Structure 1
Amino acid sequence: MFDAIRFFRPAVISHSVWRSLFTMRLKTSEFKSLFTDGLNGIAELFEKHQYELRIAGGAVRDLLSGKRPEDVDFATTATPEEMKRMFQDAGIRLINNKGEKHGTITARLHDENFEVTTLRVDVETDGRHAEVEFTTDWQKDAERRDLTINSMFLGLDGTLYDYFKGYEDLQNHKVRFVGNAEQRIQEDYLRILRYFRFYGRVALRADEHEPETLTAIRENGRGLAAISGERIWVELKKMVVGNHAAHLLELLYNLDLAQYIGLPPDGDVVEMKRVWRNASAHSPKPMTVLAALFHGPDNVDKMDLRLKVSREEKTLALFLVKHRRTLRKSDEEPDDLRPFTDFIIDSREPDSQSKVCELLKYQGEEKLLSELQRWSVPRFPVSGHDLRKMGITSGKEIGISLQELRDIWKKSRYQMDKDELLSHVKL
């Protein structure tokens, strides 16, 4: 991965000395693939104006893990005004100025967007937002980040800048806050959920948290009450589909956090763990796992009020809570898919098959799930127009006849064609 193995991390050192001693350089194909015409153009511009530009945060973590990052953020010593002037003089289009007050400028070059943020320090925080001040000190910017594995920078020559042993933690599958955990959490209480989310991505085993980290989380958990539901939901649903999700959800309850993030205080943790064991190998949707915590539709409504989930997500939760005990395989014919296919046919909703698949994941019905995923919803071959041609004109009679024919069709396992069905019409 690197062309040298020496790794130097002094506590305080000048930038020039740091560069001369820090010799680790990334040489992977994933890293090299980032250098498109757009990035090369951006890099040349920053070099020409003598501003340093590095890859920052999560993209560095992904590259060090052997993954090509989906999104790449950059950090720089240039101020937003200096970047705007530099880009505009070069004829590079600027887009989305919403992040400018926090130091972020987004430039578009060769049909690619490049989000570049000035190095910052937090001068004041309230647990939700931060007032920032720009700096040219890379270590100061790293200090304000949440986790060590997210606090690294990568030079465009492949040099890794790691001020808080983030690479070592990544190699050892450890998730730690930068510096003092309580201080980091109090700067932004959402970092509690980010810790859990990244634990699910990085840690090999479920329960290897540092005790002092869990203590800091427990003692500051009430701060989550002031975080917006939308921000909480972004982190929570990523956590729920990651590794160790059942353990982490149970930990939310053990640390008394559930009440602050829209989950029922008396959530059914035992049921949730059972569902996770059933469903985890089949990529369940986040709501499929969370639904196991809910005792009834009231819990779903309260969750939605707090987290403001999408209509599709809320509808799925209500569906699972309503049907998890009633829509089940037949005791007489346990391999028969018909209870589920009949439900889909009767519901006539475009997403009913997807919902039933989530129900089968919830119930742990792997064989039936596999069959349903391969099943195509057949088209009922008879319409009201067909009945009118036979002389039935009453809307009520047409409705009754269609339902009778639909029942006959279902009993034939959807095999009867139009002529066969119409032969059963009573005139």
Structure 2
Amino acid sequence: MERMILPHAAWRAREGLTKLCGVLGAAEGKVRFVGGAVRDTLLGIDVADVDLATTHSPERVIALLKDNDIKAVPTGLAHGTITAVLPGGVPVEVTTLRSDVATDGRHATVAFTDDWQEDAARRDFTMNALYADPLTGKIFDYFGGIDDLAARRVRFIGDPLKRIAEDHLRILRFFRFHARFGDAPDQAGIDACTERANDLMALSRERIAAELVRLLVAVHAVRVVELMIERRIFAPVLPEIDSAARLARLAAREAGAGIAPDPIRRLAALIPADTRVADDVGARLKLSKVERRRLISATEPVGEEPATVIGYRLGKALAIDRLLLSDRPESEAASLIDWEAPALPLTGGALVERGLRKGPEVATTLRLIEEQWIAEGFPDAARVERIADATVAQFLRASNSA
């Protein structure tokens, strides 16, 4: 990747971005694009978030933005980050150049600097330490990130063990980035992550979960998870993950069905098909209530009912999870992609009009009608009316004879 000029990309024309860069001193070299936007543009990948690095202090950034009618939100003032809000509410993070004063594996104390290379040196991987001039597009590469991008190699800046000691989460970030971009494994990085895997125990489970769910849907997730299991990366925090076989099978079935990867579904494929294990893992990772319910559901058997019936009973997402994780044809899961659950064309009021009393007998009879409607494949309203007539008549006869 020899080109040292940032290619044109749609994100560079976002409304207000040129003004923001001008306000922050682009003409004087006081601000640069940094990180993912530069990396992904060089790789031809769509860019979501745009980050800027600047030599200005955070207080100066706030003052410049306010003086030029740009909304400034002090989202990470202690670490030098101000969020500038562009027209339409689009956020751009502006961070003052920094160096690490002290780290403990979870948090860092930083000092502000005006040295671009010093700022680059504290970043994790070479591909994330690329800067670009907003006016000329000139790329600044202090640690060989361009060559690593060309080789699709995720490589720590400097000593991998030191980088991991500064922030233990970099172990998971290394594998997540490798799953997204990597073709050529960096052996020194893999060895360092293996040696320091126990450091993951010091991290909050929320931070672990946040990295894991992003890793599991990456393009090379299966291959990288296999490597992580081989190197016992999961063992300290998720010992339940000891095989990627079900994940590999699931990924193939997702692709065959044309269904996008889902991190919770893929996590379910990595743990034993046991609801108690799923509940424990979900709690340990502090997943949301919805995510925990989904993880537990995905470990349950799918049953033998038609796919649409499963979809009606569970909801589309949970039904697709169970079908893809089962031995049933993947086409059944695919059939639910555009399927919308029908609504029973009958109300309790219609049963009262037929002579039932409000209360439990209406609810009971409505459930009986619904079950027959499901068993018959969700017939139309006319058929439901006939089912209702027959069911109510039978109920009333039984009541009268009692």
Normalised to the residue count of structure 1, the TM-score between the two structures is 0.83
How many angstroms does 1:403 deviate by?
Answer: 3.1
Q: Which residue is equivalent to 1:74?
A: 52
Q: Which residue is equivalent to 2:236?
A: 260
Choose from 369, 383, 402 the match for 2:333: 369
How many angstroms does 1:129 deviate by?
Answer: 0.9
How many angstroms does 1:402 deviate by?
Answer: 2.4
8 Å CA contact retained: 1:284, 1:358: no
8 Å CA contact retained: 1:122, 1:144: yes
SS at match of 1:54: strand
Change in 2 beyond 3 A, CA 1:135/1:379: same
How many angstroms does 1:122 deviate by?
Answer: 0.8
* Cα distance in 2, alignment partners of residues 342 and 46 from structure 1: 58
Q: Which residue is equivalent to 2:399?
A: none
* Cα distance in 2, alignment partners of residues 135 and 185 from structure 1: 23
Say yes or no: does 1:134 pair with 2:107: no
**Please, which runs of 5 or more residues in structure 2 have no aligned partner?**
397-402
How many angstroms does 1:110 deviate by?
Answer: 3.8
Say yes or no: does 1:318 pair with 2:296: yes
Q: Which residue is equivalent to 2:244?
A: 269
8 Å CA contact retained: 2:299, 2:322: no
Q: Which residue is equivalent to 2:370?
A: 406
How many angstroms does 1:412 deviate by?
Answer: 2.5
8 Å CA contact retained: 2:9, 2:41: no
* Cα distance in 1, alignment partners of residues 339 and 98 from structure 2: 54
8 Å CA contact retained: 1:122, 1:130: yes
How many angstroms does 1:246 deviate by?
Answer: 1.9
| Identical-residue share of aligned pairs (%) | 34
8 Å CA contact retained: 1:279, 1:362: no
Listed as ranges, the matches of 1:272-283 within 5 Å are 272-280=247-255, 282-283=259-260
Q: Which moved more, 1:353-362 or 1:131-140?
A: 353-362
Deviations 1:330-373 (A, max 9, x none): xxxxxxxx53322344x3x6xx1221012222236321122222
CA RMSD of aligned residues (A): 2.4
SS at match of 1:327: coil
How many angstroms does 1:185 deviate by?
Answer: 1.1
* Cα distance in 2, alignment partners of residues 110 and 401 from structure 1: 56
* Cα distance in 1, alignment partners of residues 363 and 9 from structure 2: 63
Say yes or no: does 1:26 pair with 2:6: yes
8 Å CA contact retained: 1:284, 1:361: no
Choose from 341, 349, 360 the match for 2:308: 341
8 Å CA contact retained: 1:392, 1:398: yes
* Cα distance in 1, alignment partners of residues 21 and 365 from structure 2: 71
* Cα distance in 2, alignment partners of residues 36 and 243 from structure 1: 28
Aligned residue identity for 1:289: R
Listed as ranges, the matches of 1:386-425 within 5 Å are 386-393=350-357, 395-416=359-380, 417=382, 418-425=384-391
Say yes or no: does 1:221 pair with 2:228: no
* Cα distance in 2, alignment partners of residues 383 and 302 from structure 1: 40
Residues paired across the two proteins, number: 385
8 Å CA contact retained: 1:405, 1:424: no
* Cα distance in 2, alignment partners of residues 289 and 231 from structure 1: 18
* Cα distance in 2, alignment partners of residues 283 and 419 from structure 1: 39
* Cα distance in 2, alignment partners of residues 48 and 193 from structure 1: 35
Change in 2 beyond 3 A, CA 1:98/1:423: closer
Say yes or no: does 1:360 pair with 2:323: yes
Q: Which residue is equivalent to 2:400?
A: none
Say yes or no: does 1:99 pair with 2:63: no
Say yes or no: does 1:43 pair with 2:21: yes
SS at match of 2:299: helix
Q: Which residue is equivalent to 1:194?
A: 173
Aligned residue identity for 1:243: V
Deviations 1:89-112 (A, max 9, x none): 4444322x2311111122335444
How many angstroms does 1:119 deviate by?
Answer: 0.8
Deviations 1:361-388 (A, max 9, x none): 2236321122222333222223222221
8 Å CA contact retained: 1:268, 1:292: no
